[in-house]
Every structure is written in C-alpha cells, then in structure tokens.
Amino acid sequence: MSKSFAVGIVGARGYAGAELLSLMEDHPEVQVVYAGSRELAGEPVPHVEGLTFGSLDAEGVSRLGLDAIFLALPDGVGKQFVSSLGSDSAIIDISFDHRLDAGWAYGLPELFRGKIAGSNRIANPGCYATAMQLVIAPFVDDLASAPAVFGVSGYSGAGTTKSPKNDPENLTDNLIPYRLVGHNHEKEATHHLGTAVRFMPHVHPAFRGLIVTAHIPLNRPLSAESAQQRFVERYAHEPLIEIVDDTPELRDGSGIPGVVIGGIETSADGRNLVVVAAEDNLLKGAAVQAVQNLNLSLGIDEFTAIPKSTDSL
C-alpha cells in the first residue's frame, strides 16, 4: 500500500518523539516527512531513511503541506506551530497546553472516541491522567467523595531537561514525591471526569513505566467481584486495556502499548474500592495514544501501527 498521508514530528529528539518515529516506521499509510529538533538539525533521523532532522521553524513547517503534525514539545512551547498551521493540517499536541481547551478534542479514545474521530485539533492526554481516568471512569456515578490516587513513574516522565527528578544518581535508592497538590494531571482528570480527583505523584529510579493505586470511596456497597465485572464490561472491546485478577506491578506496564488494570479490592463494608493500573508513560501515556489519535483524525483504522496489548514493543 502506498503511503497516503504526510506527517511531521516537532520535538523528535525527546523521549515521546523518538517513540513516535519508531511507531511511524511501521505505519502503512503515513510517511514522516519532517522531524524537528533544534539540537539535532542536519543529522540523520533514526528509523526514516533519507530524512534529516529539520530546525524548529514554524513558518517553514506550515509550508510543507502536512496532513498532520505531532507536537512533542514541553508545555507552552508549541504555540507558534499552532498559530502557523492552517486548519487543513491535523495537530496532535502531546503537551498540556490544550487539554482543558473546549476547542480541542481530548484524545483519550477509550472514553471520548466519538469526539476525536475526524477532529483536526487533538490534545493528547497526560500519562498519569490516562491511567487515572480509565480506572475511575466506570465508577463516576457511584462516588461518595473524591478518589485519591497515589502514583509512581520512571524518570523519563520528567523529560530531558536536567532536574533532580530525572537525575539517576539522585534517584538511586530513592523515591521523590513532587507537586502533591494541583498537579496538571490532577486538573486534567478532574476536568474530564467531571468530578474532583486527588493525586500524589512520585518518581523513582526506573527509566520508564508508571503505576497508580486509586482509592475510590463509593456511595453504596460494592463487592470486588462486581467491581471487576464492571471493568470487564466497560473495556470488553478495547484491545489496549487488559483487566487482570492479580495486582499489576510497575514492570507489567513497561514496554507494552496499553494499560493493565487489576488488584481490584473492596473494604469489608464494600464502600471503599482500591484499583491498580500500570502503563508505559512513553507509550499509552504518550506516543501510542498519539498514534491512535492520528489514525482517528485521518480516518484510518485506530490501531494501525500499534501492536496488540499482549505484544512487547
């Protein structure tokens, strides 16, 4: 099959950008024709034969006539590209910039697929926000109060800019809590679920992967078996969501394109539900979800170029 769509990646040097390049290599209908990186401009692009990294020139990119572009940039940096690109180019923004913007589709397909399909402005969800919402969504109508979510991620979630949170030496034998009130992913989950969520993130020495443990107070008793069945029914037709009997560990989500949900327990009175979810922050938490959104935007089968949940990338 000839490749029908021309796509660009702005911020292709970063962790998410590199994952996107790898996924696009196997996409039968999409050709990466631009990969932007200020630091690597002029160097060959991995996974794309004959392509070199371009500079981060928004006006130049707008003249390429791209069908779609991924913005894999830090928060607040991609505004010039959004302003320069016309409505003929779909934008999938991996930053936080437009996740609360009513003018953009919110790109969590398992919950909002109908609003994403055909949209040309899509805000890719945050990694933690993805796991949190998938865990809480089936119980939004049964909440007695705000769910509380404890999260731990690998240091790739802190990006490539040097900081104590992505310094392997500082993280050795360590666990760092940070932004314990008002984290962007807490705001994001609260906004799109329509109910308050409390979130406590931490970073540890692993490079990738994340895990969340959610405590969900319920307004009526529910058994663990009933809660698990609700997950099974809610995500029965979602190939990237796996419901398991055991409690997932962080390593269970690393390197896979989906989310593993398990460890489903309720308190003796049935009014407190605990659920664990593991995912790869660079895959379903970023690049894999961005490819889902690209496919939905362009009218391609959503799971094109995405391995099945049981396969390792």
Strand partners, 199: 149
* Average model confidence (pLDDT) across the chain: 94
Q: Which structure tokens are listed for 309?
A: 């949940």
Pairing of strands 259-266, 272-279: antiparallel
> Could you give the C-alpha distances from 236 to 51, 90, 229, 260, in angstroms and in order?
40, 30, 10, 13
Do the domain assignments include residue 306? Answer: no
180, 80: one domain? no
Q: Are residues 131 and 119 in the same domain?
A: no
- Judge whether 112 lies within some domain: yes
Cα separation, 209 vs 127, whole angstroms: 10
- Taking residue 306's Cβ as centre, other Cβ atoms within 10 Å add up to 25
Domain-embedded: residue 310: no
106 with 163, same domain: the answer is: no
Looking at the fold, whether 152 and 121 belong to one and the same domain comes out as no
Structural domain that includes position 166? 127-280
Residues 193 and 211 occupy one common structural domain: yes
Q: What is the CATH number of the domain that holds 66?
A: 3.40.50.720
pLDDT one-digit tens code per residue, 124-137: 999 999 999 999 99
**According to the model, what pLDDT value does residue 47 have?**
76
Is residue 308 included in any domain, yes or no? no
Q: Answer yes or no: do 91 and 168 share one domain.
A: no
Pair (96, 147) in one structural domain: no
Contact 135, 212 (CB under 8 A): yes
- Residue numbers annotated as active site: 127
**Is residue 304 included in any domain, yes or no?**
no
pLDDT at 162: 80
What is the mean pLDDT of the segment spanning 249-277? 97
Q: What is the pLDDT of residue 308?
A: 74
Number of domains in the chain: 2
Q: Answer yes or no: do 103 and 248 share one domain.
A: no
**Confidence at residue 2, expressed as pLDDT on a 0 to 100 scale:** 62
- Residues 115, 132, single domain; the answer is no
Instruction: For residue 254, give the CATH number of its domain.
Output: 3.30.360.10
Q: Quick check: 310 pLDDT over 50?
A: no
State the Rg of the chain over Cα.
19
Report if residue 313 sits inside a domain.
no
Res. 38 pLDDT band, cuts 50 70 90: confident
pLDDT over 70 (residue 278): yes
Residues 46 and 67 in one domain: yes
| Residue in the block written with tokens 């999260």 | 151
Residues 110, 131: one domain? Answer: no
- In whole angstroms, give the CA distance from residue 72 to residue 155: 17
Are the CB atoms for 259 and 134 separated by under 8 Å? Answer: yes
- Residues 211 and 252: their CA atoms lie apart, in Å, by 9
In terms of domains, do 152 and 267 share one?
A: yes
**How far is it, in rounded angstroms, from Cα 43 to Cα 65?**
23
pLDDT surpasses 50 at 313: no
Residue 143 DSSP label: B
- Does residue 204 form part of some domain? yes
Inside any domain, residue 227 = yes
- For 73-128, the pLDDT digits (tens) are 999 999 999 999 988 899 999 999 999 999 999 999 999 999 999 999 999 999 99
